[in-house]
Amino acid sequence: SATTKMVSTLASIDTGHEDMIHDAQLDYYGRRLATCSSDRSIKLYDVVGNTHTLVAQLKRHKGPVWEVAWAHPKFGNILASCSYDQTVVIWKETSMGTWEPVHEHTAHKSSVNTIAWAPHECDVPILACGSSDGSFSIVTYEDGKWTSVVKEHAHTTSVTSVSWTLSSPSPSSPTTPTRLLATGGCDNQIRIWRFEGRTLPDKPEHTLSGHADWVRDVAWAPTLGLAPAAIASCSQDGHVFVWTFAQNTWTYQDIYHTSGHPVWRVSWSVSGGILAVSASDNKVTLWKESLDGKWYCVSSVEDGEQAQK
């Protein structure tokens, strides 16, 4: 079917990074942009309309910085970063424009590839970290200090992606929302871990198999927290799956195949109605589910296409 142009370039930013940029994240209000690079630095910009002003450059990592993640503003101005140097650094704005590292997480034995903050409803900052050592860790700030626990052998090889959602509270702890963590790995699998309170789960609640190569990203669809929502996943195999849960079983719909191009990222709109997909062919596509349950592409744009018009 014909696609409608929904994606356009609002602004192009010359970051001044000296090497490849791996991640770019807007904060909760869309007023600050964080970028990170193989040049080992993180850059922060104030965003006003189409104007971006560099306000800080953060240097502490000793290797490429793979991802950055903003905490919810209810916890203050906090940014996390993860790196090939096996560390996660948590930064805090201590005064206007001044950022300080407030915690360095050094529990992993290999590159830390991915990080994600748990939903703010958990009432304390909780960060999941996935590593090439096959483990994930949970970093929590509570009672004035940062603590961490590590889940060894979460995947048989590298953990590439982590994503949180909330589920309905358990009968044993009716006032505490249950957290679900999805992890993707180079073992081609997605695993779902259920967290009750502060206890680290012994084993995954579900293991999702279907991809034929590394899982590059996983993303829970936004939910009201009443039931497990959908999960989007993408892979080195060029496929994008949307997984749904029914009768205690996860099943997937293969919604997109790039004809051999690895797919790097999947990201849901705030309402969960649109799924954005970015792949190594430099295309960004937007997908929407129709009333009959099938997914169709509502927009496709190639890198630079809009800027040339």
The pTM (predicted TM-score) of the whole model is 0.91
Query: Is residue 148 within 8 Å of 139, Cβ to Cβ?
Result: yes
CA distances from 23 to 42, 80, 116 (A): 10, 12, 13
Longest CA span, the chain: 58
Q: Are strands 78-83 and 65-70 parallel, antiparallel or unpaired?
A: antiparallel
Place of tokens 């039931």: 227
Give me the pLDDT at residue 3, please: 44
Give me the pLDDT at residue 1, please: 41
Residue among 84, 87, 90 at smallest CA distance from 106: 87
* pLDDT tens, the chain, 309 aa long: 444 455 566 667 777 788 888 999 999 999 999 999 999 999 999 999 888 899 999 999 999 999 999 999 999 999 999 999 999 999 999 988 899 999 999 999 999 999 999 999 888 999 999 999 999 999 999 999 999 999 999 999 999 999 999 886 656 656 667 899 999 999 999 999 999 877 899 999 999 999 999 999 999 998 754 555 799 999 999 999 999 998 889 999 999 999 889 999 999 998 888 999 999 988 899 999 998 889 999 998 876 554 333
Give me the pLDDT at residue 122, please: 86
CA distances from 64 to 50, 134, 210, 214 (A): 28, 19, 31, 21
Give me the pLDDT at residue 272, please: 80
